[in-house]
A and B are shown apart, each in its own frame.
Chain A
Amino acid sequence: MATTTATRVDTPRAPRPDDAPRKRRKVEPIYYLFLLPALVLFSLAITLPAIMGIFYSFTNSIGFGEWDFVGLINYQAMFSDPAIWQSYLFTFGFAAATVVVVNVIAFLLAVGLTARIRMKSGLRAIFVIPMVISGIIIAYVFNYLFSNSVPKLGNSLDIGWLSESVLANPDLAWVAIVIVTAWQAIPGTLLIYIAGLLSIPEDVYEAADLDGASKLQALLRITLPLVSGYVVINIILGFKGFLNAYDIIVGLTNGGPGTSTRSIAMTIVTGFTGGDYAYQMANATFFFLITIVLSLVQLRATRGRSTL
């Protein structure tokens, strides 16, 4: 190894592929073969339809039949459509609220589940269960609970505000959606936080204990800074994921009451199954651009971090 490094440092020209050890070139084609199936599937299923969608956003196609190019009319109409702006407002607000709820609860749970308690693995398994159930099933079960069980409970305990179904209230239905989405999203976040907490060496806590720090001070001053990389990842990934909220909203309120809980994805899907294909493709293209910006922010925020 030392000789190879020395050779590289001595020669002034940039290392060419010929300089690489003979052994490496023989294995390379196999790696391309490994990549090929995933690459092909990804392109066919995701990249190609996305490009077609962007193309159709400049037409007036309804998905089949004849269509013409209409330039930027769809985008113009989109920017003046209050329903679309309302859906963006709702989705971003909902994603922000859910990210906060999910991360706070998941972090506290992770701290608890990595402490010295009994039945650690059993509890961890239980808390991961919501992640494996399909979103729409969770939504329908919670729909029933919110519409029937909770009001009955509120009635029997004589609690006024609990006696009416929260899903029927245009101002509060979003709270129910946050609760159910958080319920499903916490396990994933929890696993990442557990991994982060387990990566902190024990001696840091011992040193803090020796210096007289309380548990709370240890949590805030030592744990949090050391898992900051994980926190950033969870927040950004979570935010992007919650922007796609669809199946839980459909099962819980279907955009109702009225149109108070329509997310961006719902608007797009309802629009183009109703025949507004090209228009919603414009909406989808705009949403795609926003997601790209968010992804760039995420890459920037996590660059140069040694842990994660």
Chain B
Amino acid sequence: MPSPQQISRRTILAGVSAAALTTGAAGCSSSSGREPVRFLLSKPEAIPYFRDLVATFNSSQKDVEVVLDSSSNLQAGFLRGNPPDLGLLNYNMEMARFMARGALSDLKDMPEAGRILPEVQKLVNNLAAYPGRTSVLPYSVMAASVIYNKKIFADNAVEVPETWDDFIAVCEKLKTAGITPIYATFKDAWTVSQGLFDYTVGGMVDVAGFYDQLRKEGTNVGPTSKVSFSKDLAEPVSRMEMLAAKYTNQDAASRGYGDGNLAFSKGEGAMYFQGPWSLGEIAKSGPDLELGTFPLPMTDDPASRKVRVNIDLAAWIPEDSTRKQAARSFLSYLFQPDVMNAYNAAQLGYGTTTDAAPVTDPRILGMKPYFDEARFYQGASQAIPLTIPTENYLQGIVTGAGVEPTLQTLDADWARLALRQ
């Protein structure tokens, strides 16, 4: 057996060689002299598109090397102090949270900031604001409303409804003809909140105003407050429950987003409460389908119809990034009109700048007048902080939980959250 003297020498040598190996391996990163910029984009439908775009940008100049990152955890990056250098992500409560704490740098001085449409910039501030800064620049807005199968409508002599009663009549007619009026996918909770909930609430309630008041109420939200979920959203959510119970497919509770796209592309439903991001997926298995969109009418006044919008992609550069200049050069590249227009045309989005090309795709053309006249709202489910499991509550409603108790739970959660923060 080797003596203790030999053991310690051996362990020292082993330790040194191990350390040398690891430092050697770490030094194998890109040392081509170009400044690396970590570009975070995780929208699944757009990843192949941006992979090509990044390759084009990298080969067109020699100063910056953009690396596309689609899988880093955003929260973890900010927590560790090494977030991505440029992010192009969905603008929602998660991003609003970072913005409100000043984690995103000011982009006001960039020329691109001056080209953004004012109504679209206002959408940014609906969720949160860091005063005095332009923290995000919207890149693409998705307008979403009811997708419908034109052929099924024509075969059953059904017209696009303009009032709530017309809409119910359409559903009844399709149901008696043996067609599923609305194809639903309850297994994926986000489809319930984004589709059924947002459309029904947004068509009847002033979403932005409601949340402004709700925030003012804070800890008082409950049965006695001026505004509350159980008071103001009772009517639209009851209607949502009715639609889910009467006019959706029987197996909706075990169908997910992918199943829904496939089934709708095969003509198993007349209407689909989804956004334009699903149109690309539907086209994969049903390229010849003729689809159109119309806003869900919730009142008997056709002029009150609005479409749901969300800032599907918004660009931001974190304060903690050490390569802001390089990131800005890529941002400017992305915001060039032809690049932006090409993206929005390919992904069926609406441009956010004053010089954006108008949409021409027939599938989303129906929403253009609403967008141009700013007759839109941001989804009601998008303004609730993420710690409240809104999607799960809504999924509970469409799978049998009561409307009243769920809305009261929402009220209680909101009040409790206001108390804590």
Residues of A within 8 A of B (CB): 26-27, 29-30, 33, 60, 62-66, 73-74, 77, 80-83, 146-148, 151, 164-165, 167-170, 254-260, 262, 270-271, 273-276, 278-279
B387 touches A65 (CB 8 A): no
- In the complex, identify which listed stretch (B116-124, B139-147, B294-302, B395-403) lies at the interface while the others stay far away: B395-403
A64 touches B4 (CB 8 A): no
Nearest Cβ distance between residue A32 and chain B, in whole angstroms? 12
Closest 5 CB pairs of A and B: A258-B396, A168-B253, A274-B386, A165-B254, A65-B101
Q: Is B13 an interface residue (CB 8 A)?
A: no
Given contacts A63-B79, A74-B420, A80-B416, contact A276 B387 (CB under 8 A): yes
Tell me which of B75, B94, B254, B416 contacts A148 (CB under 8 A).
Answer: B254
List B90-105 residues whose CB lies under 8 Å from chain A: 94, 97, 101-103
Tell me which of B187, B251, B392 contacts A258 (CB under 8 A).
Answer: B392
Interface string of B399-420 (1 = CB under 8 A from A): 1110000000100110011011
Q: Bound complex: CA of A29 vs CA of B421, how far in Å?
A: 51
Q: Bound complex: CA of A250 vs CA of B173, how far in Å?
A: 39
A255 touches B392 (CB 8 A): yes
B399 touches A168 (CB 8 A): yes
A259 touches B389 (CB 8 A): yes
B416 touches A258 (CB 8 A): no
24 pairs across A/B with beta carbons < 8 Å? A60-B421, A63-B79, A65-B101, A74-B420, A146-B254, A147-B187, A164-B253, A165-B251, A167-B253, A167-B254, A169-B253, A255-B389, A256-B392, A257-B186, A258-B395, A259-B393, A262-B389, A271-B387, A273-B75, A274-B387, A276-B387, A276-B420, A278-B420, A279-B420
Given contacts A165-B251, A168-B253, A257-B396, contact A77 B387 (CB under 8 A): no
Nearest Cβ distance between residue A136 and chain B, in whole angstroms? 15
Of B386, B387, B416, most buried by chain A (CB within 10 Å of CB) is: B387
Nearest Cβ distance between residue B272 and chain A, in whole angstroms? 19
A256 touches B189 (CB 8 A): yes
Q: Is B168 an interface residue (CB 8 A)?
A: no
Q: Bound complex: CA of A33 vs CA of B14, how far in Å?
A: 13
Q: Bound complex: CA of A276 vs CA of B102, how far in Å?
A: 18
Of B4, B103, B187, most buried by chain A (CB within 10 Å of CB) is: B187
Enumerate chain B residues within 8 angstroms of A276, measured Cβ to Cβ: 387, 417, 420
Q: Is B7 an interface residue (CB 8 A)?
A: yes
- Tally B residues with Cβ within 8 Å of A: 39
Q: Is B11 an interface residue (CB 8 A)?
A: yes
Q: Bound complex: CA of A180 vs CA of B412, how far in Å?
A: 34
Q: Is B385 an interface residue (CB 8 A)?
A: yes
Residues of B within 8 A of A (CB): 4, 7, 11, 75, 78-79, 94, 97, 101-103, 186-187, 189, 251, 253-256, 385-387, 389, 392-393, 395-397, 399-401, 409, 412-413, 416-417, 419-421
A65 touches B103 (CB 8 A): yes
Enumerate chain A residues within 8 angstroms of B420, measured Cβ to Cβ: 60, 73-74, 77, 276, 278-279
Tell me which of A62, A66, A74, A254 contacts B189 (CB under 8 A).
Answer: A254
Nearest Cβ distance between residue A259 and chain B, in whole angstroms? 5
Tell me which of B255, B385, B392 contacts A274 (CB under 8 A).
Answer: B385
A258 touches B102 (CB 8 A): no
Enumerate chain B residues within 8 angstroms of A77, measured Cβ to Cβ: 416, 419-420
Q: Bound complex: CA of A187 vs CA of B7, how far in Å?
A: 40
A62 touches B97 (CB 8 A): yes
Given contacts A65-B101, A77-B420, A168-B186, contact A257 B386 (CB under 8 A): no
Nearest Cβ distance between residue B302 and chain A, in whole angstroms? 35
Q: Which residue of B lies closest to A256 (CB)?
A: B395
B399 touches A258 (CB 8 A): yes
Enumerate chain B residues within 8 angstroms of A257, measured Cβ to Cβ: 186, 253, 395-396, 399-400
Nearest Cβ distance between residue A24 and chain B, in whole angstroms? 12
A168 touches B4 (CB 8 A): no
Nearest Cβ distance between residue A294 and chain B, in whole angstroms? 27
Nearest Cβ distance between residue A56 and chain B, in whole angstroms? 12
B101 touches A66 (CB 8 A): yes
Q: Bound complex: CA of A275 vs CA of B4, how far in Å?
A: 53
Tell me which of B79, B94, B251, B385 contacts A151 (CB under 8 A).
Answer: B251
Q: Bound complex: CA of A170 vs CA of B392, how far in Å?
A: 12
Nearest Cβ distance between residue A96 and chain B, in whole angstroms? 24
A275 touches B254 (CB 8 A): no
Q: Bound complex: CA of A81 vs CA of B101, how far in Å?
A: 26
Tell me which of B11, B102, B389, B409 contacts A65 (CB under 8 A).
Answer: B102
Nearest Cβ distance between residue A208 and chain B, in whole angstroms? 48
Q: Bound complex: CA of A85 vs CA of B347, how far in Å?
A: 43
B101 touches A64 (CB 8 A): yes
A30 touches B396 (CB 8 A): no
B103 touches A64 (CB 8 A): yes
Enumerate chain A residues within 8 angstroms of B385, measured Cβ to Cβ: 274-275
Enumerate chain B residues within 8 angstroms of A80, measured Cβ to Cβ: 416
Nearest Cβ distance between residue A286 and chain B, in whole angstroms? 15
Enumerate chain A residues within 8 angstroms of B416, measured Cβ to Cβ: 77, 80-81
B396 touches A260 (CB 8 A): yes
B11 touches A33 (CB 8 A): yes
With contacts A256-B189, A273-B75 known, what are 15 further pairs, Cβ within 8 A?
A26-B4, A62-B97, A62-B421, A63-B75, A64-B103, A74-B420, A83-B389, A164-B254, A165-B251, A167-B253, A256-B396, A257-B186, A262-B392, A274-B94, A275-B94
